[in-house]
Chain A
């Protein structure tokens, strides 16, 4: 079997030119995975790591205002624009991966949608119950705050060590890659609701996000293939992504959703727009993801509310992922619920990215509590995944 034919490593920025030049490692088992994090090139961000959050979020905390202050609040303010662009880039990669042409692809997309929806509902319901019971001091509508945590919990990276030719691995990681779609779409609505918008307004603004994604996507499609040279094409690609992030940021909407719509448009439209944007964006994707994670770490503000939310987030995320895997078991065959649940444990980058987006636009108390709970919770889930993720198939 060929090497993970239909999976795009849209989160960790894998398969960038540096990685392509290096020999692919077979995945080590158990605690041996920790060794991957200590390799110099990975630690420097020159190569994709299986769990980049474990390296770069703590690094962000170290560089941030509370420790070394190299990333002062002023610098973080300037990085706001870069964060929006990084979010749009992630959205584009998710959109590019969204191409359910075959029956098998559609089945896996349904499985991914189902398991992420189950996770969102479980985490949001539990969090809402606790917020009301504790009478927690949130400065946003409690339902929107609870849904935000559910959305952050729903994304998975499928960041297991690469295993060639293993069907279980291919199916499970593909579901994990595709389960970002529902959280991103739901996030587009919730982001607006967090600021107190009505359901009607939230729907309207989410539709506006999609419309902007389509308009910019169409402009990019008209330009990419007609560039006179590589430098001009690079300008169009970067300009399009920056505009996607910029439009969403200007209106306090979701750059992830705008990027997702544009990426999907390029994938579905005739021509080579999807390949051009993928090839060009891969050069900047990895640095952008690292910057996003470092910024997340540097932006962490611990509060009592964050501590309250942290433990339920981890607990209900694990429960939600296992329940989601059980719900999607029939669609994910031949992978069993237990196997799929283990693959869905690593949260990857999208959850933290969405939390950072929430921090940018939500009321401050809720925004910083969600950011801290999600970042810390994601690190714990990544560690759990490092230990739990099946190493089976190494021999395949």
Chain B
């Protein structure tokens, strides 16, 4: 009851300011403060309903955002998105901390086989469906021949993408640990690597097919290599420096961790590095080489992660475009159902033909439904370069993301709950890890 009263007070103060100040210019701190408190309370309410807290943050953002109540105005939502880079880097860093290579290595070949079979079926199914239904899709119905082929490949690549950010955020938020969490993280990260390659090549194919200024393949390869290898190297170097700081200074870890994430997202972007990969590499280095199982780091991550997750998902919710969903609702719904069915079919098919734990194989599809920031980033590239038909792709994908954002975290949380992995991050370390601390 007192929490509800506090929420009423916070909403009242914000509305009072909005009423007195109109559409002010300095909106960042107001949006941030309001989102932090109110979304945290909404997330808490969702947890009581056995739903993921991140869904609570999202729904809060959607309800208070410009599409519905407009307490968070469009300019506030834009300001909140400044935190996206930091959030993505922090979430990926946490994913790196959860990936113990020694632990994962025996299962990696099976996961790779499982992953490529799933992706092959998903890509194949989407490609066939888009090719056949092209005249009815609100993109460029008149396209034929090679142009249509290239456009279908591009659309397939974007629609098939997953969201490592949301998946990892759900795992972090629910404090989950176990085979399903580990397998899902590994799959979404591998899929993200594949996505960077596929998208680069499919954009190149579109440029070539539509007669644009296609980049030379020879020039494109070093760029992709720079983006992938460079990101990993940059992240590993940053992770090593962070580990040195932990060892020799070790104070104010939360602040330094957040600063590291700002560097990984801000500085990395200037050099065309992928923040997700760089931060993942940093986390991997810290967990697997420098400071495995550090309690101080765990506390620092816990302190820093919660507010960042709240702001990130509230901002995402506030920027969900219900208008786009209304515009292409039926088509978006059809594509959403198709993607869902193909992910389920792909994982079921791949699970039967690999040595992956059958229980994990049956449930992992639920962790692959979400789509978010990475997909939005890709679709913005397309719409900027090809404003005519690219706008059609943007509207369709944004509507699709809105559906996946709302459903994905709920599905994944229920899978984690079914596997009993929720809150296992807080459980004591397994006996094998503590029995022989010297490693002899």
Contacts and interface: CB of A to CB of B under 8 A. Distances in A.
A239 B33 contact: yes
A251 B251 contact: no
A334 B357 CA distance: 79
Interface stretch (B93-101, B303-311, B372-380): B303-311
Interface in B377-427: none
A240 interface: yes
Contacts of A230: 302-303
Contacts of A287: 252, 255
Interface stretch (B2-10, B194-202, B276-284): B2-10
Contacts of B24: 250-252
Contacts of B310: 235
Given A84-B26, A246-B29, A234 B307 contact: yes
B36 A239 contact: yes
A287 B258 CA distance: 13
A215 B12 contact: yes
B84 to A, nearest CB: 14
Given A80-B26, A81-B32, A234 B13 contact: no
Interface in A217-253: 218-220, 222-223, 226, 228, 230-232, 234-236, 238-247, 249-252
A240 B34 contact: no
Contacts of B20: 208, 251
**Looking at A212, A223, A240, A360, which has the most chain B CB atoms within 10 Å of its CB?**
A223
B187 interface: no
A73 interface: no
Contacts of A212: 13, 16-17
B28 A240 contact: no
B237 to A, nearest CB: 21
**Looking at A243, A247, A284, A287, which has the most chain B CB atoms within 10 Å of its CB?**
A243
B29 A222 contact: no
Interface string B303-332: 101110010000000000000000000000
Contact of A80 (B5, B28, B33): B28
B188 to A, nearest CB: 24
Contact of A85 (B5, B29, B37, B306): B29
B33 A243 contact: yes
A216 B2 contact: no
A78 interface: yes
Interface in B164-211: none
Interface in B1-49: 2-3, 5-7, 9-10, 12-14, 16-18, 20-21, 24, 26-34, 36-37, 40, 44
B31 A246 contact: yes
A215 B10 CA distance: 8
A308 B40 CA distance: 50
Contact of B3 (A226, A244, A251): A226
A243 B307 contact: no
Nearest to A222: B6
Interface residues of A, number: 43
B296 interface: no
A307 interface: no
A364 interface: no
Per DSSP, chain B at the interface is: helix
A229 B183 CA distance: 29
Nearest to B1: A222
Contacts of B21: 250-252
A46 interface: yes
A338 interface: no
A240 B9 CA distance: 11
Given A235-B306, A235-B310, A250-B24, A245 B9 contact: no
A343 to B, nearest CB: 31
B6 A245 contact: no
B3 A223 contact: yes
B82 interface: yes
Interface residues of B, number: 41
Contact of B29 (A84, A216, A226, A284): A84
A212 B17 CA distance: 9
Contact of B37 (A208, A226, A236): A236
Nearest to B33: A243
Given A234-B306, A236-B40, A250-B21, A242 B29 contact: yes
B161 to A, nearest CB: 30
**Looking at A17, A236, A360, which has the most chain B CB atoms within 10 Å of its CB?**
A236
B10 A219 contact: yes
Interface in B55-88: 79, 82
A18 interface: yes
B36 A238 contact: yes
A81 B26 contact: yes
A222 B278 CA distance: 40
A219 B6 contact: yes
Contacts of B44: 228, 232
Given A81-B32, A226-B3, A246-B28, A216 B13 contact: yes
A99 B7 CA distance: 28
A330 to B, nearest CB: 42
A249 B30 contact: yes
Nearest to A224: B6
B306 A252 contact: no
Given A216-B9, A222-B9, A232-B40, A245 B29 contact: yes
Contact of A81 (B7, B16, B28): B28
B30 A239 contact: no
Contacts of A241: 33
A245 B37 contact: no
A287 B254 CA distance: 12
Contacts of B37: 219, 223, 235-236, 239-240, 243
A243 B76 CA distance: 13
Contacts of B5: 222
A238 B307 contact: yes
Contacts of B303: 230-231, 234
A216 B30 contact: no
Interface of A: 17-18, 46, 78, 80-81, 84-85, 208, 212, 215-216, 218-220, 222-223, 226, 228, 230-232, 234-236, 238-247, 249-252, 283-284, 287, 360
26 contacts: A17-B251, A18-B252, A46-B252, A81-B29, A215-B16, A219-B6, A219-B7, A219-B9, A222-B9, A231-B306, A235-B36, A238-B307, A239-B33, A239-B37, A239-B40, A243-B13, A243-B29, A243-B34, A243-B36, A246-B31, A246-B33, A249-B30, A250-B24, A251-B17, A283-B254, A287-B255
